[in-house]
């Protein structure tokens, strides 16, 4: 799939393939990318390799042995790391994109490192976050929930927390934070692909009978009340602790007290300086978008990324039971467009 990202027609064409979930996206051979991918390989091959590795760890376990997994997923740069810190602060194990780490192993021809999911006897609830994108097409197209289900994770032990963020803000974050790892035109292409791929994950979950809750980043403008409603929605109201939202540091401590966040081992190229903002609480971080060009903004509308976000806003308002006044305050014109 060799598409000229500078061509508006080419970007629209791949966007349409993603929206239609065209099978050619699974079978097209994806070429190596310096530093990130060493083999020419199809997405379906990578997915199969990761699924087989996961299945090795799942197949001899009873359904009751799997902990309830609160599985947050969205395009990259949607506030997922802050959410993983938040869940870690409640005391449950919080995993930082273990499935994408396995995919990245497969991209360079390594057998993926096994994700050791604990027994429900030891940990009845766990959290994991996965982000789609940004560096190669394979990680901008993959469906992490599909990996879990096809490997044998029981559907009734999964609750998908579907993430999104206002498109211009998240694209600006990609271009600001990730430009040292990929050119601007590549980041735009992968952003569009990742945003549209992420929107397909919720549809897949619903077809599989997996519970879904949409949680859009902008609700963190009202952090405590939004997290409380989220925890009630997913059946964790007993685990809600306001301090887990507002107080991440002990006096004199310069780092968030999130010892239960579990990071995978990854290659140095993925360690991007200042990728994540250090903070003392879970809160909304505004991202300036003035750096985006008019053409980039038009691409988001033309390729359907803005439509996907409008749908996510409408679903979030429904799932969290937000009233019209609060929704208008949180989402502004996006709420009116989604209603």
**Residue 56 token pair:** 């090795």
Lowest average pLDDT, out of 61-65, 113-117, 154-158, goes to 113-117
pLDDT score of 243: 86
Contacts of 283 (CB under 8 A, 6+ apart): 82, 220, 223
| pLDDT tens by residue, 189-247 | 999 999 999 999 999 999 999 999 999 999 999 999 999 999 999 999 999 989 889 88
- 252, pLDDT greater than 90: no
Work out the average pLDDT over 158-167: 98
CB atoms under 10 Å from CB of 277, counted, come to 10
pLDDT score of 109: 96
pLDDT score of 270: 94
- 318, pLDDT greater than 90: yes
Instruction: Provide the terminal-to-terminal Cα distance of the chain, rounded to the nearest Å.
Output: 37
Mean pLDDT of the chain: 92
pLDDT score of 8: 58
pLDDT score of 273: 79
- 1, pLDDT greater than 90: no
Give Dmax over CA atoms of the chain in angstroms.
54
pLDDT score of 279: 76
**CA–CA–CA angle 189, 187, 286 (5° rounding):** 115
pLDDT score of 130: 98
Q: CA nearest 261: which of 101, 121, 95, 98?
A: 95
- 295, pLDDT greater than 70: yes
| pLDDT tens by residue, 112-128 | 988 999 999 999 999 99
pLDDT band of 339, cuts 50, 70, 90: low
pLDDT score of 3: 46
Q: Which carries the bigger pLDDT value, residue 34 or residue 247?
A: 34
Work out the average pLDDT over 146-153: 98
pLDDT band of 6, cuts 50, 70, 90: very low
Q: CA nearest 5: which of 171, 135, 182, 187?
A: 187
Q: Could you tell me if residue 315 is left (phi over 0), alpha (psi between -120 and 50 degrees) or otherwise beta?
A: alpha
């Amino acid at each position: 799939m060799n598409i000229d990202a500078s061509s508006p027609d080419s970007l629209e064409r791949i966007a349409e393939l993603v929206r239609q979930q065209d099978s050619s996206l699974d079978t097209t051979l994806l070429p190596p990318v310096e530093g990130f991918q060493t083999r020419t390989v199809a997405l379906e091959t990578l997915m199969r390799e990761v699924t087989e590795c996961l299945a090795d760890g799942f197949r001899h376990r009873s359904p009751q042995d799997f902990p309830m997994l609160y599985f947050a997923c969205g395009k990259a740069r949607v506030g997922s790391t802050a959410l993983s810190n938040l869940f870690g602060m409640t005391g449950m194990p919080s995993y930082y994109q273990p499935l994408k780490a396995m995919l990245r192993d497969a991209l360079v021809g390594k057998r993926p490192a096994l994700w050791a999911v604990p027994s429900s006897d030891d940990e009845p609830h766990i959290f994991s976050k996965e982000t789609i994108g940004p560096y190669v097409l394979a990680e901008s197209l993959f469906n992490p929930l599909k990996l879990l289900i096809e490997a044998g994770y029981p559907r009734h032990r999964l609750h998908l927390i579907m993430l999104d963020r206002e498109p211009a803000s998240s694209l600006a974050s990609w271009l600001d934070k990730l430009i040292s790892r990929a050119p601007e035109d590549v980041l735009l292409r992968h952003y569009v692909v990742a945003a549209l791929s992420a929107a397909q994950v919720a549809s897949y979950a619903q077809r599989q009978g997996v519970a879904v809750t949409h949680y859009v980043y902008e609700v963190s403008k009202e952090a405590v009340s939004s997290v409380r409603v989220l925890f009630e929605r997913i059946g964790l109201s007993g685990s809600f602790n306001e301090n887990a939202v507002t107080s991440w540091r002990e006096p004199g401590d310069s780092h968030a007290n999130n010892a239960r966040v579990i990071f995978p081992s990854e290659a140095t190229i993925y360690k991007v300086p200042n990728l994540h903002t250090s903070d003392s609480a879970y809160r909304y971080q505004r991202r300036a978008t003035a750096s985006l060009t008019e053409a980039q903004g038009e691409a988001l509308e033309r390729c359907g990324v803005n439509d996907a976000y409008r749908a996510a806003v409408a679903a979030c308002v429904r799932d969290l039971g937000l009233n019209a006044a609060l929704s208008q305050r949180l989402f502004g014109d996006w709420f009116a467009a989604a209603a």
